[in-house]
Structure 1
Amino acid sequence: MKYVLFYAPAEDVMEKAPLHFPAHQSRIGQFHDRGDLLMVGTFGDPVNQGSMAIFPTREAAEDFVAGDPFVLEGVVRSYEIREWDEVLS
């Protein structure tokens, strides 16, 4: 079982994201380096479609969200964590 985090962008994402991206990217690196973040990326139209990340545990996904500058500073308007039953890797 994996856990997928979906971010829905705020209406003013283009103004806010550049301000908070360095801290967000640093958090991504920290979680990835310790194995708590497997993959992360935006969809083809990130302003309208948002982004997603895949975590090995729900706890890792929740911990990431709890301190992510994109959440804390309103770069994303909402998020959702879903269980994902990976069939093939």
Structure 2
Amino acid sequence: MRHVLFYDSGDLSLAVEHFPAHQARYQEFFRRGVLLTLGPFSDRAGSMAIFTTREAAEEFVSADPFVLNGVVSGWQIREWNAASPD
């Protein structure tokens, strides 16, 4: 089971200002091994991130500078039953 965090884009003009703090936050979660991947959609309407636990996704969102500063207008976490070739 994985947990997918979906972000809806808010005021993207604020992204440049808040990106360094956002990047530091996601790098911390990568180092901890609880964030597997993340990135924006090509249409700029939002982004997604895949976490190993719901708790990690909720912790990330709770203090993400993009959420706190309006770069993100809304978010949701969904459980995902990922299939693999194993």
State the TM-score, normalizing by the size of structure 1.
0.92
* Structure richer in helix, relative to its length: 1
Confirm whether residue 8 of structure 1 aligns to residue 4 of structure 2: no
Cα distance in 1, alignment partners of residues 84 and 78 from structure 2: 18
Query: Structure 1 segments of 4 or more deviating over 6 A?
Result: none
Structure 2 unpaired stretches of 5+: none
- 1:3 partner SS: strand
Cα distance in 2, alignment partners of residues 5 and 85 from structure 1: 14
Residue identity matched to 2:70 = G
Residue identity matched to 1:38 = L
The answer for the alignment partner of 1:31 in structure 2 is 29
Residue identity matched to 2:55 = E
Residue identity matched to 1:33 = R
Q: CA deviation at 1:52?
A: 0.2
Identity %: 56
Cα distance in 2, alignment partners of residues 73 and 50 from structure 1: 15
Q: CA deviation at 1:44?
A: 1.1
Cα RMSD for the two superposed structures: 0.9
Q: CA deviation at 1:38?
A: 0.5
Q: CA deviation at 1:88?
A: 1.5
The answer for the alignment partner of 2:71 in structure 1 is 75
Q: CA deviation at 1:56?
A: 0.2
- 1:4 partner SS: strand
Q: CA deviation at 1:36?
A: 1.2
* Structure richer in strand, relative to its length: 2
